[in-house]
Structure 1
Amino acid sequence: MKVTVNGTVIAESDETKVVENNHYFPPSSVKKELFTDSSTSTVCPWKGTASYYNAEVGGETINDIAWYYPDAKEKAKNIEGYVAFYKTKVQIE
């Protein structure tokens, strides 16, 4: 799987995990140099509290482009630290 923004690859992996129709990418497969922490967080009843990333791609800042669970609940431990992307803000193929 590959995530791009306007032709720039920001994540790529053969080892994503699919949860609720979202591909979660291993942290090592994400180009961290393009990301900064967002102040946004949300809570999922079974996965836990999600933290968000903003990305700087091609001179454009894209807020809350991705999310991850830094301390996932027990049922979601398999995706702890993995990064998922908003399909409306990126291309996933």
Structure 2
Amino acid sequence: MKAILNGTVIADAPEADLIKIEGNWYFPPASVKAEFLTKSPTPYTCPWKGVCQYFTVSDGTHSFNDRAFSYPEPYPASFERVGADFSNYVAFWKEVQVTE
């Protein structure tokens, strides 16, 4: 699967390596091209996943605030609910399209 912003591939991994949580595909950290992400100061804590890290996503020309997010240190209890350790996995939304 791929996460694509305006034709630029931001992340690429086999579907078997991704984790789906609440309708969002989370890509393994090694599959994400870090040069297209910049940490955002936007605060958010999910009641069951923990503290979220948002990212601004850029295609090299345009930047979109908070279009990617991750949980660097999720609550341990969330692993059982999800069925896997999703620490530092990255999900995308809005302008970033996730396709097969």
Provide the TM-score with structure 1 as the length reference. Answer: 0.92
1:48 counterpart = 2:50: yes
Q: Is it true that 1:80 corresponds to 2:87 in the alignment?
A: yes
**What stretches of structure 2 of length at least 5 have no aligned partner?**
80-84
Query: Which residue of the partner structure matches residue 73 of structure 2?
Result: 71
After TM superposition, the structure 1 stretch with the greater mean CA deviation from structure 2, 75-84 or 40-49, is: 75-84
Q: Which has the higher strand share?
A: 1
CA–CA separation in structure 1 for the residues paired with 2:52 and 2:8: 25
Q: Percent identity?
A: 42
Q: Does 1:7 align with 2:14?
A: no
Asked if the contact 2:36–2:60 (Cα under 8 Å) also holds between the matched residues in 1, the reply is no
Displacement of 1:58 in angstroms is 3.6
| Cα root mean square deviation, aligned | 1.1
What displacement does 1:76 show?
2.9
How many Å separate the matches in 2 of 1:2 and 1:51? 21
Structure 1: where are the runs of 5+ without partners? none
Pick aligned residue for 1:27 from 21, 26, 29? 29
Matched positions, count: 92
